[in-house]
Structure formats: structure tokens, C-alpha cells
Structure 1
Amino acid sequence: MSTEEKTMIILGENIAPGQSKTLNFSFAKLFTSTKVEIPVIVERSLIPGPTVLLTAGIHGDEINGVEIVRQVIAKKINKPKIGTTISIPILNIFGFLNQDRVFPDGRDLNRVFPGTKTGSLASRVAYYFTKEILPHADYCLDFHTGGAQRFNAAQIRIAPKNKQLLSLATVFNAPFTVYSSNTSKSYRNTCEQLKIPCLLFEGGKSLESNKHIVKEGVDGVMRVLNHLEMLQTTLSKPTEKKPPVIIDKSTWIRAQKSGLLHIKIDCNKLVKKGEFLATITDPYGTMRFKVLAPNEGYIINVNQASIVNQGDAIFHISKHIV
């Protein structure tokens, strides 16, 4: 293989084997004319191997994912024994600055992939990311949290009936692997169209950094890199644990009343049908409504909001495990 063939070109910059580089994915300005730059951290080994792309902050208020990728970089887990890692801790820098899920144009970045060159701001970010960075990846690990006050158990989401993704999710070994069909115009869907295996990690809730969720994410990255023979031998491997619970059917338990929500069980718990999960009360001491489990299953999401409206999702429960 020639030197030219070994050199990787990302965002117009050459990155040779053995090089470390931080690139600026710069495509837009604030209305103050200040450039908005998204750091892209590239680490290459001298030895050929796969390229793993780690992304977080597609939603700007999802801090756990940002912290997972930050720790991967800070602990030098991203310095591969073979191959290449590309780490982007914050893809939606606009949302991160505003502590908001979406872009200033109100668009959800994870609903505009693969984007367009002349579309909305979010669509343009998706377009340049898809054209300039994503094609280099052999594997993608994308980190998210639950929206608003909904706390997700640490879980990997994969498309159903994909044996390669199931195998990789088992290697990552989050407590739960959840079958979840790809959403149109999502990052994960674009990866599938490009035939790039993508694991979507969910854990915790928005605007909160949870050390237990972060540890699950960092340990999972290390397991995947170790599986691909990319993890440096100087790093301690995560401890072994039981295989993930694989959930192929799940449902939301929604509030039948509006009022104050009082949660009685923990996330991750296996509950029995009819088990007491929460109460909803009015502020005046005249109404107290019990929320019961509709079936036996694992609770993989809990709404931690203090007040709910009728119809709000308050628990996500498995209906069938593999």
C-alpha cells in the first residue's frame, strides 16, 4: 500500500498513520459573525485496522453522552492499538450552547439526516457530516439520553433482525439491548443505508451527568474496542458481567390522570403484573390514583418529573424479552 493510500483525508486535512489531530468542523457562524467550530479528534495507529466513530451531543441538552466521549478521550481510550478512532463529543454545538435539544432553527438534527447542502442549518450540518466524516467509519457508537425528565436505563438500541448489530450490542454489554426500528431521517437510519454498523446508546436524562450511566458507556466503548483488537494493552479491561437483557417488545405506561407524580420503584427493576409503580395526586389532598404495572417486565425508563399531564409517558416497560 502506498503512503497516499494509507493517508486519511478528513475535512481536507491529511492524517497519516500514527498521527493525532484535532480538526475543526467549521461550517457556520453565529449572528455575531463568530465562527462555530466543532472539534473532531482523530487518533491513528501505525498499524492498519478499522475506524470507529464516536459521536455525542446530537441533541444539545444530552450531557451524559458528551461526558462519555470526553472520558474516552481524557483516559486515552481513543488512542488505538490498531486502526483509527474519530471522536466528536458535541455534534450539535448550537444546542449545547443554549442547553437545548434542537438547533436555533428549531430542527432536530436527528430527524434531518442525511441532510441537504442548501437546507436548514441542522440539515446542512447533517449533510457535511454525512459527506465528510461518516464515510470513513467502519463502526459508529452514538450516545444519547432520555428526553426532558425521562430517565433511561443504560441500553443499546438496534434495529430488529440484524445479527451483526445484536452481536456488537452483546459485546458492548449495556444492561439492556432494545430492538427499536430505525426512524426515518435519523443518523442511525443513514448509517444503515450506508451499511455502517451503528449502536445507539441511551442512558440517563437531559441536562444531567450521571456517573453510573457514564461508566456503562465508557466500559461499553472499551469492550467494543477490545473486541476489535484496538484497545491498548496498557488499559485495564472492564470487568465481566452477565449478558444484556434483550428486549424485543416494549410499551409506554401513560398517566391516566393529571397531577403530582410520586414514583415508588427504581429504573432497571423487573416488576410483576399489577405491581405498584407510582401514585398521581392532586394538589388538594382529594385525589390519589395508583399506577400499576400492566404486565411483568423490566422498567427501562422512568419519568422523574414532579408534575404530569394526562397522557404523559411515565414508564417504559418491556413486554417480551428474548
Structure 2
Amino acid sequence: MAKRRPPFEIAEQQVQAGTQTSIKLPVARLYNDTPMELHVEVLHGKKDGPCLLVCAAIHGDELNGIDICRRLIKKINPARMAGTLMVVPIVNVFGFIHESRYLPDRRDLNRCFPGSERGALGSRLAHLVYTELMQRASHIIDLHTGAIHRSNLPQIRANLSEPDAKAMAEAFHAPVILDAKQRDGSLRATASKLGVPTILYEAGEALRFDDTSIKTGLNGILNVMKMLGMTQRRGSRKKYEPVIANSSYWVRNEYDGLIIFRIRLGDIVSKGQTLAYSASPHGEGEETIRSPSDGIVIGVSNIPVANGGEALIHIARYDAEKIGDADEVLDAFMEDFEPRVL
């Protein structure tokens, strides 16, 4: 008779092999004495395997990841899974309630890790996530969107010098992988110090659901789980190899005025190409905004007015000799994930 897999222990609770349990971790009380809890859905497979943490809404207004988590929980049957899946749809519960990126004291939770049990509110929440979840995880996928009024092309950010993180990034099957630096105090940087391979998924805009971003994210997580041997189910078959970018930058407005964009997310641009025009609202003329280099548009501002110095277009640099390949990647991605017109 096969030996039964031991239960998964978290917050003094046990999750039996082949089952799913909702765990609520006390975070704090609001000043009206309302308790706040961190909701963790634990799916503990029947077979041994990795422990994957999937979390969203570290920034409380980034909603796409929440729906990705909701759909993921419905897709996975722990009785047919190896390893353990911890899903946290809303990490920054305070920001989510207020439809805000930040905590009530205006701090960025993703600069508070690993946190402290006796620190400020953000530090305490980060410490809870660090001790109860990150230290139990063998792999992490952190779900994000662009900031408010900014849209991001579906992309993975990871430290590609870490072999396991690179393997996760490639398996995810997003059109672009950005070899991105880790920022002090972030979940990803803290996980790296723990030796836990972590990738960050960016897609869409804050306070908005975007179907393409959500489908790409769900497919990506399923692909990573299959690569890790947790499930037999994959999100989608690979039709392309992702574009790997080594750096990125924001093109900023050098003028004041209305912004007339001439590019879209995912466009391949060349050095000197017209990206947009900055036009006077009084019809006195317009200035051309050009691309400083070859690259791919991975982020755009959605506000068509800007003062001088404001960020407008996020461009990722990659090998110019692979421009044709990048076109094919984006075409294949759009074919897979763009909503169908009925």
C-alpha cells in the first residue's frame, strides 16, 4: 500500500493530501475594529512535488492578477496534482479596498519586504507574507499590471542569470521576457535572497480587466506548473520563442500638449521612427517624438495629454538582427490570445 503524503501545515492548520482548503491569516484590525485577513487558497496534491506560490495585487489596484487567480483555483484539482499550490488573489487587502496601489500610509508594499513583525503596517503585512508563504515556497509567480492609466504588453520579468527562474520565464509563454533588475524591498528581490526562483508577470492596466492579459497569465501559470511536473495540463502549445530583452527605458515628452500616438502595444519600432506627436491644443503646431533605438513597445500611457518630462512609451531593447523574429512572435501571440470578433 502506497504511503499517504503528509499534510501541508500552515498557520497551525493542516491541509490533507489531495484536498483544497481556504486559510485566513489575520493581518490587522482597522481603526473601526474590523478585522483584516489574508486569504490563501491551498491545494495540496496527492503526490510529492514543488510548492508554488502564486500571488496578485501586491499593488491593490492591479486587478488582472486577481481574476487570473480566481480562474486558476477553478482549473486545478488537487487530487490529480503533484506538489502544493498556494494562491493569494489579494496580497494588499488595504489597497484593494480603497482601489489604490498603495497602503493607507501611502507606502508601496512591494518595497517593504521582508518586513518586520513590529514595523509599520506595510512592514507587518510583508513579514506575514514572508514568514507564512515565501519561506514555504519552492517557486513563486508574482502577478502585476501597469500602473493607473498605463498599459503593459504581457511580459515576464526575471533575473535570467538564475537558471530556475529563466526556465520558468521561458515556460510561461509570454511574448516578451525582460531580464530585469531586482529592486530592494521587493518580493522578487527578497525571494532571490531566499534562493526561491521567482518570475513577475506584467500585463494590462490598473483598475481594469483585460481579457487578453488574463488569458495569457492563466495559460502561463499552467505552462509553468506542467514544466515543474505539478500537472499534466498545459495552457497552450508553443508557437513561438519569446523575445528576450536585456534592458528597457521610457520615452518621455519633451514638450507640453496633446499626445497623438502613432504606435500601439507590441509594435516593433526602429531608431528614429515617429512614435507620437506632441501638439498644442491651440493649433500652433506639433513636435515629433521619435524612438531613440530599435525595440518593442511594452508599455504605453493611456492619457493623451502630458507635461514635459512625463513618461509616454516604454520600449524594450533587444538584438536588432532579430527584428523579423519579433514580428513573428507578436503575430503568433495575437493569433493565440486576442479576443475573437464574432
* TM value normalised by structure 2: 0.89
Quick one: structure 1 residues 153 and 77, their matched pair in 2 at CA, closer, same or farther if it must change by over 3 Å? farther
Q: After TM superposition, give the deviation of residue 26 of structure 1 in Å.
A: 1.3
Output the CA distance in 1 between the equivalents of 2:290 and 2:135: 47
Among 256, 259, 272, the residue aligned to 1:258 = 256
**DSSP 3-state at the match of 1:66:** helix
Output the CA distance in 2 between the equivalents of 1:320 and 1:2: 50
Q: After TM superposition, give the deviation of residue 82 of structure 1 in Å.
A: 0.7
- Following superposition of structure 1 onto structure 2, how do residues 1-322 of structure 1 map, counting pairs within 5 Å? 6-76=6-76, 81-231=81-231, 233=232, 235=233, 237-321=235-319
Amino acid in structure 1 at the alignment position of 2:136 = H
Quick one: structure 1 residues 150 and 41, their matched pair in 2 at CA, closer, same or farther if it must change by over 3 Å? same
Residues 213-245 of structure 1 deviation map (CA, whole Å, 9 limit, x = unaligned): 1111011001001112212x4x56413220110
Output the CA distance in 2 between the equivalents of 1:83 and 1:156: 23
Residues 146-182 of structure 1 deviation map (CA, whole Å, 9 limit, x = unaligned): 1121211111101242232222211111100001111
Gaps of 5+ in 2: 323-342
Q: After TM superposition, give the deviation of residue 320 of structure 1 in Å.
A: 2.7
**DSSP 3-state at the match of 1:50:** strand
**DSSP 3-state at the match of 1:62:** coil
Quick one: structure 1 residues 157 and 293, their matched pair in 2 at CA, closer, same or farther if it must change by over 3 Å? same
Output the CA distance in 2 between the equivalents of 1:134 and 1:25: 14
Output the CA distance in 1 between the equivalents of 2:285 and 2:9: 64
Q: After TM superposition, give the deviation of residue 294 of structure 1 in Å.
A: 1.4
Output the CA distance in 2 between the equivalents of 1:165 and 1:236: 19
Output the CA distance in 2 between the equivalents of 1:157 and 1:248: 10
Q: After TM superposition, give the deviation of residue 38 of structure 1 in Å.
A: 2.0
Contact residue 154 and residue 174 of structure 2 kept, 8 A: yes
Contact residue 6 and residue 17 of structure 1 kept, 8 A: yes
Quick one: structure 1 residues 316 and 77, their matched pair in 2 at CA, closer, same or farther if it must change by over 3 Å? farther
RMSD over aligned Cα, in angstroms?
Answer: 1.8
Q: After TM superposition, give the deviation of residue 76 of structure 1 in Å.
A: 3.1
Q: After TM superposition, give the deviation of residue 79 of structure 1 in Å.
A: 6.8
Output the CA distance in 2 between the equivalents of 1:43 and 1:226: 15
Sequence identity of aligned pairs in percent?
32
Quick one: structure 1 residues 66 and 80, their matched pair in 2 at CA, closer, same or farther if it must change by over 3 Å? farther
Q: After TM superposition, give the deviation of residue 2 of structure 1 in Å.
A: 8.7
Output the CA distance in 1 between the equivalents of 2:79 and 2:238: 22
* TM value normalised by structure 1: 0.94
In structure 1, the residue matched to 2:327 is none
Quick one: structure 1 residues 148 and 55, their matched pair in 2 at CA, closer, same or farther if it must change by over 3 Å? same
Output the CA distance in 2 between the equivalents of 1:43 and 1:115: 26
Amino acid in structure 2 at the alignment position of 1:81 = M
Structure 1 stretches of 4+ moved >4 Å: 77-80
Q: After TM superposition, give the deviation of residue 306 of structure 1 in Å.
A: 2.0
Output the CA distance in 1 between the equivalents of 2:78 and 2:314: 33
Gaps of 5+ in 1: none
Quick one: structure 1 residues 161 and 78, their matched pair in 2 at CA, closer, same or farther if it must change by over 3 Å? same
Contact residue 250 and residue 314 of structure 2 kept, 8 A: yes
**DSSP 3-state at the match of 1:83:** strand
Contact residue 260 and residue 283 of structure 1 kept, 8 A: yes
Aligned length: 319
**DSSP 3-state at the match of 2:48:** coil
**DSSP 3-state at the match of 1:146:** coil
**DSSP 3-state at the match of 2:226:** helix
Output the CA distance in 2 between the equivalents of 1:193 and 1:77: 32
Contact residue 27 and residue 36 of structure 1 kept, 8 A: yes
Amino acid in structure 1 at the alignment position of 2:153 = A
